[in-house]
Amino acid sequence: MENFIVHCNRLTGLTESAKVDLRTKLTTKHIAKGHYLLQDGNTCKYLFFINQGLAKTFFFKEDKEFIMRFFTESNLFTVVDSFGNQQPSGYAVVALEDTSYTTLSYDDLQTLCQRHHCMETFFSKLLAKAATHMMQRITEMLEDNPAERYARFVTNNQALLQRITLGDLASYLGITQVSLSRIRARK
Amino acid sequence: MENFIVHCNRLTGLTESAKVDLRTKLTTKHIAKGHYLLQDGNTCKYLFFINQGLAKTFFFKEDKEFIMRFFTESNLFTVVDSFGNQQPSGYAVVALEDTSYTTLSYDDLQTLCQRHHCMETFFSKLLAKAATHMMQRITEMLEDNPAERYARFVTNNQALLQRITLGDLASYLGITQVSLSRIRARK
DNA sequence: GTGATTTTTTAACTTATGTAAAAAGATAAG
DNA sequence: CTTATCTTTTTACATAAGTTAAAAAATCAC
């Protein structure tokens, strides 16, 4: 729970009173590998902060699974459109390992934002960070071919690589598992 | 200038005093086709609102140009990472037609956010909308092949299609112009 | 209107990817 | 240990995309 606050405070300085107030709104939960933090079709009611474990955000198109992003220790995230507009999510979030995470609900965040200007700033920073990450992702998909995307992922996510399947990695990279296997073989 | 305020007000209700205050901070500019609203390497100091005209956000990789997004009438936007952190931008913005646009500077936005809670909310909504758009873009790049991406663009951007070159469209879709030409030919 | 420039299409060739199916390897459960 | 399941690699084939170059079409400037 403290880690959530430390992380928020790092995004933008929080006042002591905001920290005290925030602490009362946090809930820590545990979920087993394979279970859902959010089912697609449901509205995302929370900001999620992963204390320990690993999760992926993904969606289906005709049973095929496409991965938007992996989240691990100290990642603070949500499903932006569902959370921001409190509408059903087209994306699901599932635990890839047994996972401990801390949540802050939409309603509580609204309350905190009304009470503390710094919390509104915090939320803006969080959204800007998410947007920046997605911009980077789009950039990579435009400028890199599959082999380059794989190479970049390996360099930037050395640790994560040990924890995800190559099937999931292929899905994230936007290629088939067969193609990823060939890319790995040919160098 | 009024359009900028109307647009903000639509994102989140603004108080009358915020509107009055905001109005004093807006500047309207005109730029000719081919000229830059932002050069890459420079820090993006503004939110841009296009009154009339068309612009594209893009970046270079070894002289090759890759288009992030097109912006036209009533689009409110910025280069999120550069603007949010006030650091040099890896992306440029150029006018594709003679363009009239209204700006709000980073410093003025900060001031307005301090004075009016609704302006902070407005900025959050703007970021959430940008993030949602990018999430949609990533989704399309994952689930659709080039031909499907082209078809989707045509349906969703009928009007825009008349105003951009097929070279720029190919760049946006992440394929070569030759490939786009073949896709168009084969149906 | 004519020449110059830009945009778009076509052609030929090479390489990479998707698909489907099977084999090999690794992991987990009993 | 052994079976069952999940993960990864390999094979074979068809299709689509990238590259380079050239031609055709459209647009712009004088």
pLDDT digits (tens, 9 = 90+) for A96-117: 999 999 999 999 999 999 999 9
Query: Within 13 Å of residue A184, how many CA atoms lie on the same side as its CB?
Result: 13
CA of A138 vs chain B CAs: smallest distance (Å): 6
Domain at A108, CATH number: 2.60.120.10
- State pLDDT tens for residues B148-164: 999 999 999 999 999 99
> Nearest 10 degrees: CA dihedral of A73, A77, A79, A85?
160
pLDDT of residue A8: 94
Question: Looking at the domain assignment, is residue B23 inside a domain?
Answer: yes
Q: Mean pLDDT score of chain A, rounded to an integer?
A: 95
Radius of gyration of chain B (CA): 18
In a domain, B183, yes or no: no
Which of B127, B168, B169, B179 should be substituted to probe chain A, the one whose Cβ sees the most A Cβ atoms within 10 Å?
Answer: B127
**Rounded distance between C-alpha atoms, residue A88 and residue A39, angstroms:** 9
- Asked, for residue A46, whether it belongs to a domain, the answer is yes
For B81-105, write each residue's pLDDT tens digit: 999 999 999 999 999 999 999 999 9
**Mean pLDDT, residues B166-187:** 95
Q: Residue B35 falls within a domain, yes or no? A: yes
Asked if residue A57 has pLDDT above 80, the reply is yes
Distance CA B87, CA B38 (A): 13
Residue B129 falls within a domain, yes or no? Answer: no
Amino acid B42: pLDDT = 97
Distance of alpha carbon B87 from alpha carbon B140, whole angstroms: 29
Kindly list the residues from chain A whose CB atom is less than 8 angstroms away from the CB atom of residue B81. Answer: 128, 131-132, 135
Predicted confidence at residue A1, as pLDDT, reads 65
Task: Note the pLDDT of residue B2.
Answer: 83
How many domains is chain B built from?
1
Sequence-ordered list of residues with C-beta below 8 angstroms from that of A172, at least 6 positions apart, any chain: A67, A68, A69, A70, A153
B43, two tokens: 């820090």
Average pLDDT of span A173-180 = 96
* C-alpha to C-alpha distance for A85 and A98, rounded to whole angstroms: 29
Is B8 among the domain residues?
A: yes
Beta bridge partners of B38: B93
Subunit contact A84:B117, Cβ cutoff 8 A: no
- Domain assignment present for A41: yes
- The answer to whether the beta carbon of residue B182 comes closer than 7 angstroms to any atom of strand D is yes
In a domain, B127, yes or no: no
Instruction: Provide the domain limits for residue B64.
Output: 2-116
Q: Does at least one atom of strand C sit less than 7 Å from the CB of A175?
A: yes
Placement of tokens 């400028």 in the chain:
A143
Distance CA B113, CA A119 (A): 12
pLDDT of residue B62: 85
Q: How confident is the model at residue A71, as a pLDDT?
A: 97
pLDDT band at B1; cut points 50, 70, 90: low
Q: B10 near B2, Cβ under 8 Å?
A: no
